[in-house]
Amino acid sequence: MQWAAAVYAALMIGSSIFSVLGNLVLLLVVSLNRSLQTDTWVLTLSFCLCDLALGISTIPFGIHNSVFQVKSYPSKSATCKGSAFLFLLLQVASIHSLTWATVDKFIEICFALSYPVIFTAYRAKIILAGVWVYSILNAALPLFGFGSYVYSETKFLCVPSFKPSSIAFNMLFMVVGIIIPIVLMCSMYAYIVYIARNQVRRGTFVCNEDHCFYVPASNYFKSSIVMVTTIVCLLVCWLPYIVICFYETLTGKDSPQPASAVATWLVLFTSALNPWINSMTQTRYRAALRKSLNKIRQMFEYPRKDSLSQCTTIQLRRESNSFSLPAPTVPPALQTNNEAQQDLTLV
CATH of the domain at 257: 1.20.1070.10
What one-character DSSP code corresponds to residue 164?
A: G
Cα 25 from Cα 47, distance rounded (Å): 14
Confidence check: pLDDT of 323 > 50: no
Q: Does 117 fall in a domain? A: yes
Question: In the structure, what pLDDT confidence band is assigned to residue 299 with cuts at 50, 70 and 90?
Answer: confident
Q: Does 241 fall in a domain? A: yes
Kindly give, in sequence order, each residue whose CB lies less than 8 Å from that of residue 40, ignoring residues fewer than 6 positions away.
101, 104, 119, 121, 124
Kindly give, in sequence order, each residue whose CB lies less than 8 Å from that of residue 155, ignoring residues fewer than 6 positions away.
62, 260, 261, 264
Question: In the structure, what pLDDT confidence band is assigned to residue 178 with cuts at 50, 70 and 90?
Answer: very high
- CB of 21 closer than 8 Å to CB of 65: no
Q: Give the least confident one: 145-149, 312-316, 329-333.
A: 329-333
Confidence check: pLDDT of 92 > 70: yes
Taking only the tens place, the pLDDT of each residue in 138-160 is: 999 999 989 899 998 888 999 99
Cα 28 from Cα 23, distance rounded (Å): 9
Nearest to 174 by CA among 145, 147, 150: 147
Kindly give, in sequence order, each residue whose CB lies less than 8 Å from that of residue 31, ignoring residues fewer than 6 positions away.
none
Q: Does 295 fall in a domain? A: no
**Whole-number percent of the chain with pLDDT over 90:** 37
Q: Specify the higher pLDDT residue, 129 or 311.
A: 129
Q: Does 128 fall in a domain? A: yes
Domain of residue 187 covers: 1-287
Confidence check: pLDDT of 336 > 60: no
Q: Does 210 fall in a domain? A: yes
pTM above 0.85, yes or no: no
Q: Give the least confident one: 141-155, 213-227, 308-322.
A: 308-322
User: What does the pLDDT read at residue 300?
Assistant: 77
Question: In the structure, what pLDDT confidence band is assigned to residue 310 with cuts at 50, 70 and 90?
Answer: low
- CB of 128 closer than 8 Å to CB of 213: no
Q: Does 293 fall in a domain? A: no
Taking only the tens place, the pLDDT of each residue in 223-280 is: 667 778 888 888 999 999 999 999 999 988 888 888 998 999 999 999 999 888 877 7
User: What does the pLDDT read at residue 337?
Assistant: 45
Confidence check: pLDDT of 133 > 60: yes
- As for how many domains the chain has, the answer is 1
Q: Does 297 fall in a domain? A: no
Nearest to 22 by CA among 297, 299, 269: 269
User: What does the pLDDT read at residue 179?
Assistant: 94
Q: Specify the higher pLDDT residue, 267 or 37.
A: 267
Q: Does 188 fall in a domain? A: yes
Cα 226 from Cα 218, distance rounded (Å): 12
